[in-house]
């Protein structure tokens, strides 16, 4: 269930910066600013030991991620089950998921003070749990598994060559496709690869899994929205296909003939801090993902 709740005042915060001098220096400056307001903090690089990162996040009231969307998504993937709320400070390009501007841009002090004083909201989001499974003897073994914040993509590993995939939903074979690939995304990730492939922009509150075929040659269907609890199964069906699995734009894991990718949604796993409950709609416009027609400029 998706929900928005008031947050508590922040007493301890983890400052997590991407591996770059500018956000690292900003994190140190923020540490002094927080200390002057009675808030303890710890500064860690996003590439630090995952065990240390998780322990520090679990002991904190919030995690401020200094980086772009990629850094924030990577932190969310690592920390999602801990449920300490995350908020981003934009040291990337688009910064669709980041709430605060970089220190050098100004206008960060007032919203950060509101966060510290507990005046923002805590918003929960759906994540995806995935597993690659392979038949061994009379049973199945799990080769790899993990969590996705944006999307799980199965696509060809060779340029301009389609792949054959069977898509089953809740145990029912839904489609046998010859296509460039399949995207299963969260609502939060619907503005990424899903939107580029013609999928719908989806409000994060919907708790849906969105399945979008990529350039289907046969067996295609319109983008499909499924309840979070749906069980999705994707199987590679041709011996000579080179199918790769990408998670949030990373990893590129091989999916061999007969391997099965299983995906299901997990509600209430990722918590983020938001100052505006309508941030998603506003940011679609502010970041240029949705553009207004010429009449809007003239008030028509």
Model pLDDT, residue 298: 42
Residue 240 — very low, low, confident or very high, per pLDDT cuts 50/70/90?
confident
Q: Domain of 241: which CATH number? A: 2.60.200.30
Q: Which residues are catalytic?
A: 69
Residue 192 lies in a domain: yes
3-state secondary structure of 85: coil
Residue 299 has pLDDT above 60, yes or no: no
Distance of CA 102 to the CA centre of its chain: 21
The torsion region of residue 260 among left (phi > 0), alpha (psi -120 to 50) and beta comes to beta
259 with 215, same domain?
yes
Distance of CA 152 to CAs 81, 212, 248, 284, Å?
A: 18, 11, 6, 22
145 with 260, same domain?
yes
Residue 300 has pLDDT above 90, yes or no: no
Model pLDDT, residue 94: 82
pLDDT in tens, 130-180: 999 999 888 999 999 999 999 999 998 776 689 999 999 999 999 999 999
169 with 109, same domain?
no
First to last CA, the chain: 39
264 with 190, same domain?
yes
Q: What angle do CA 142, 232, 263 make, to 5 degrees?
A: 45
244 with 133, same domain?
yes
Model pLDDT, residue 2: 55
pLDDT in tens, 88-120: 999 998 889 999 999 999 899 999 999 999 999
168 with 192, same domain?
yes
150 with 259, same domain?
yes
Cα dihedral 281, 287, 293, 299 sign: positive
The mean pLDDT value of the chain amounts to: 92
Model pLDDT, residue 296: 57
pTM of the model: 0.91
Residue 169 CA to residue 15 CA, distance in Å, equals 40
The DSSP code sequence of 150-182 is: SEEEEEESSTT--EEEEEEETTEEEEEEEESEE
Closest CA to 198 of 21, 185, 207: 185
Residue 228, domain extent: 127-268
Would you say 126 and 228 are in contact if contact means Cβ atoms under 8 Å apart? Answer: yes
**Taking residues 31-52, what's their average pLDDT?**
96
215 with 254, same domain?
yes
Please provide the size of the chain in residues: 300
Residue 300 lies in a domain: no
Would you say 200 and 193 are in contact if contact means Cβ atoms under 8 Å apart? Answer: no
108 with 24, same domain?
yes
Residue 295 — very low, low, confident or very high, per pLDDT cuts 50/70/90?
low
The DSSP code sequence of 89-134 is: EE-SSS-SS--B--GGG---HHHHHHHHTT-SEEEEEEEEEEEEEE
- Our count of domains for the chain comes to 2
User: Angle formed by the axes of helices 21-35 and 109-116, to 10°?
Assistant: 50
191 with 88, same domain?
no
279 with 252, same domain?
no
Closest CA to 111 of 62, 71, 59, 70: 62
Model pLDDT, residue 277: 85
Residue 82 lies in a domain: yes
Residue 150 lies in a domain: yes
Q: Domain of 96: which CATH number? A: 3.40.50.10330
User: Angle formed by the axes of helices 69-79 and 50-58, to 10°?
Assistant: 80
211 with 142, same domain?
yes
């Amino acid at each position: 269930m998706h929900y928005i709740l008031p947050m508590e005042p922040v007493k301890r915060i983890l400052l997590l910066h991407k591996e770059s001098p500018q956000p690292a220096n900003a994190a140190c400056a923020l540490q002094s600013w927080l200390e002057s307001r009675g808030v303890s903090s710890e500064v860690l690089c996003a590439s630090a030991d995952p065990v240390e990162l998780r322990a520090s996040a679990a002991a904190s009231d919030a995690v401020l991620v200094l980086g772009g969307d990629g850094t924030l998504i990577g932190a969310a993937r690592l920390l999602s089950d801990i449920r300490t709320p995350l908020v981003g400070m934009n040291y990337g390009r688009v910064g669709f998921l980041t709430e605060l501007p970089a220190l050098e841009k100004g206008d960060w002090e007032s919203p950060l003070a509101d966060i510290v004083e507990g005046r923002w909201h805590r918003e929960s989001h759906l994540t995806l749990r995935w597993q690659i499974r392979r038949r061994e003897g009379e049973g199945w073994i799990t080769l790899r598994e993990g969590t996705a914040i944006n999307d799980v993509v199965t696509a060809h590993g060779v340029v301009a060559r389609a792949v054959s995939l069977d898509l089953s939903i809740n145990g029912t074979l839904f489609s046998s496709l010859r296509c460039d690939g399949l995207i299963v995304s969260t609502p939060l990730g619907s503005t990424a690869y899903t939107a580029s492939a013609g999928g719908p922009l989806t409000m994060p509150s919907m708790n849906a899994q969105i399945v979008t075929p990529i350039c289907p040659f046969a067996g295609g269907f319109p983008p499909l929205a499924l309840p979070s609890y749906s069980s999705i199964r994707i199987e590679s069906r041709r011996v000579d296909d080179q199918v790769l699995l990408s998670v949030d734009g990373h990893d590129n894991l091989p999916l061999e003939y007969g391997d099965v990718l299983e995906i299901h949604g997990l509600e209430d796993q990722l918590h983020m801090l938001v100052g505006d409950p309508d941030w998603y709609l506003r940011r679609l416009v502010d970041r240029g993902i949705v553009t207004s027609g010429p009449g809007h400029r003239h008030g028509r």
